[in-house]
Structures are given as C-alpha cells and as structure tokens.
Amino acid sequence: MDLPRGKRIISEKIANLGAVYKKLPENFRGVIRIFMKFESRVHRGDILIDDGNILGVSLDDLDKSISSYGEGALKEIKNKAPQSMGDVDVYKFGEIEMSLAIDSNERVLFRHAIPLDRLGVGEVVVEEERKEKEESKRKGEEERKEEGERKRKEEEERKRKEEGEKKRKEEEERKRKEEGEKKRKEEEERKRKEEGEKKRKEEEERRRRGEEERKEEEEKKRKEKESIEEWRKELGKLDEEWARLEDEWKKLESIKDLSVEQEAEKKVPEAEKKVEELTEEDLKVLKSKPKLLKSIGFTDKLRLLKFPRASNVMELMDGKKTVGEISEELDIDKGSIIDLMEELKTRGYIQ
C-alpha cells in the first residue's frame, strides 16, 4: 500500500502476531505492517484498520514484485505468518492521514469493511531458538544482507516519495511565481499604456491650448496692428487738419492785425476808458506771469480761435512777462487777453 507517515505504537516479532492484535487500542485507526521472510523471499503485508474494521489488505512479494489484495492477501498472510521470520509494526493515523491512505489505496479496499476478528490468527508458537541455530550458519549473513536490502529499498522508496513531493511543490511554486510574474507584467503593461495614453492626451491638450493661445495672440497682434494703423491714419488726418487750421489761424490773425493797426488810434480813448472799468481781480490777472503747464490739445486749439492772436499770446507766456506786458507788446485788448487767461486756467493749462 501507498501509506502516509503515522505514529508507531507497537513493534513486535512476527511470532507474536496474535498478541499484536490483542494490543490494538479500542477504536484503533491505522495500519499493521508486516515484514516477513517466507521460503527465502521477503514479503510485506499491510492491513488497514479503522474503528475495529478491516478496510483493506495487501501483500507484496518484494523479490518477485508480485502483489495480491483483499481476501486472497489476508489468507496468504494468515498461512505464511506462522512459518516466517520477521517483524510487525503498528502505526496510528489521524483523521487526515486516514483519509489520505483511503484515497491512495482505493484499489485494495474491500467493498464492505470486515470485522477485525476475521484475522483469525492465534498466537504462533515457533521454536525461534532452534530455527536460529539451524539457520544461523547458513542464513545469518544472508538475513543481514536481506535486512539491509529491505531497509535500503524502504529508504529509496521514502526518498523517492520525498523527492516526488519536493518536485511537486517546486513545480507548484514555479507555476505560482510564473503566474504572479505574468500578472505583474500585465499590470505594469496596463499601467504603462494608461500612463502613455494620459501623456498623449495631456500633450494633445497642451498643443491644442498652445495653438489656441498662438492664434489668440496673432489675432490680438493683428487687431493691435490694425488699431495702430487706423490710429496713425487718424493722426495723419488730424495733423493735416491741424496744419490747415494753423494756416487759417495765421491768415485770420494777419487780417486782425491789420484791422487793429488801422483802428489803434480810434480805440485808444476807448481802451483808456476800459482800463478804468477793470476790476481788482482783472488787475491781478494782468500782473500775473503765466506759463503753460502742458501742450494745448487739438480740440482746445479750435476753441481758442475765438480769442485774438491766442497763439502769439501763448508763445510769449514764458513765466517772466506779465499778462499786461504781453497785451501791450501784441497791442491786444486787455479784456480779450483776460478772457483768454480765464479760459486757459479753467482748462488747466495755467495756474
């Protein structure tokens, strides 16, 4: 039988086989293993027992590699044991070991378990001393060799099973590692693809935003350029208009200068009269020395056209000459120049 390891609880000579049966514990679960030499051949017998019932029996002729099972094996054990020399060992099994023994030896089990008393082996009376004397000279050395061979075979069998179990576990471990490595690589590949896809999308999004920003920037520059061009065109038009107005202004001022010179003598009496009518505030303005704080805007230049020789007045406003002196130098009516100063002050061109 192919049996798991158990706990040895009884070990006897085969001559005491009957006593071994009597020593079995109540509700015994395990195996009786018999090694006996019969007619110069070594036999191994196994009797599998569970709770007072025999589950299966096998007998192996180890020299001829012949095996028998069931009732035939049990009968051979009963017949050969009294005429044999050898040992009997009893091994106790736990529930797991018993299950393994049953699973591994289904071919040798009885269809229905039989009672333990079916063994029917009485105590074998063998004149061991006599046999030993008769056989010691002839078979002593042979027995030692056979015993050594038996143990060697058992050891080889044990090692073979251990090696097989070791290889099986190594194979399982190898498969487990391969499966783990495969899963790890699959997971790494999945993460690598996800990371690549993420980077690809981020790159596409970055490029899309960059393209949008570039287009927006180009559009902004284009509009700014168009705005600058339009502004330059408008400035050009304003400069042309300003030059035209300057020319008109100078023409008007030259006409006014002529009329002023022609009527100067007529207005002298009137001017003297108007000086007498100036207020104290007007006198302060005439005594002030104005200076332009900033350039005159285009629109304001148009507004100042209503004042006589306004451009000439502003050219003389250097912060050194009084308004009255400018009025006398340009021969401009004091009332008109006072009004011009008030307009300039109102629009923030002088203090």
- For 256-282, what is each residue's pLDDT tens digit? 554 544 554 444 444 444 444 788 898
46: closest CA among 2, 98, 93? 2
Taking Cα atoms as reference points, which of 29, 31, 55 lies closest to residue 45? 31
* pLDDT of 37 higher than 90: yes
pLDDT tens digits along 149-207: 999 999 999 999 999 999 999 999 999 999 999 999 999 999 999 999 999 999 999 99
**Confidence label for 116 from pLDDT (cuts 50, 70 and 90):** confident
Calculate what percentage of the chain has a pLDDT beyond 70. 86
pLDDT at 252: 66
Is pLDDT at 124 greater than 60 in this prediction?
A: no
Domain coordinates in residue numbering, the chain? 7-126, 263-346
Percent of the chain past pLDDT 90, that is, above it, reads 47
Average pLDDT over residues 316-326: 91
For residue 126, what pLDDT band results from cuts at 50, 70 and 90?
very low
pLDDT number for residue 120: 60
Average pLDDT over residues 128-140: 62
Mean pLDDT of 6-13: 93
For the cut 80, the answer to whether the pLDDT of residue 314 exceeds it is yes
Mean pLDDT of 104-125: 74
Instruction: Tell me how far apart the alpha carbons of residues 298 and 242 are, in angstroms, rounded to a whole number.
Output: 8
Q: Which two tokens stand for residue 303?
A: 């507004």
This prediction has a pTM of 0.37
Task: Compute the average pLDDT of residues 227-245.
Answer: 73
pLDDT digits (tens, 9 = 90+) for 51-66: 889 999 999 999 999 9
- The predicted pLDDT at position 90 comes to 95
pLDDT band at 134 (very low <50, low <70, confident <90, very high): low
What distance separates the 2 farthest-apart alpha carbons in the chain?
188
Q: Does 131 score more than 60 pLDDT?
A: no
Residue 40 contacts residue 138 (beta carbons within 8 Å)? no
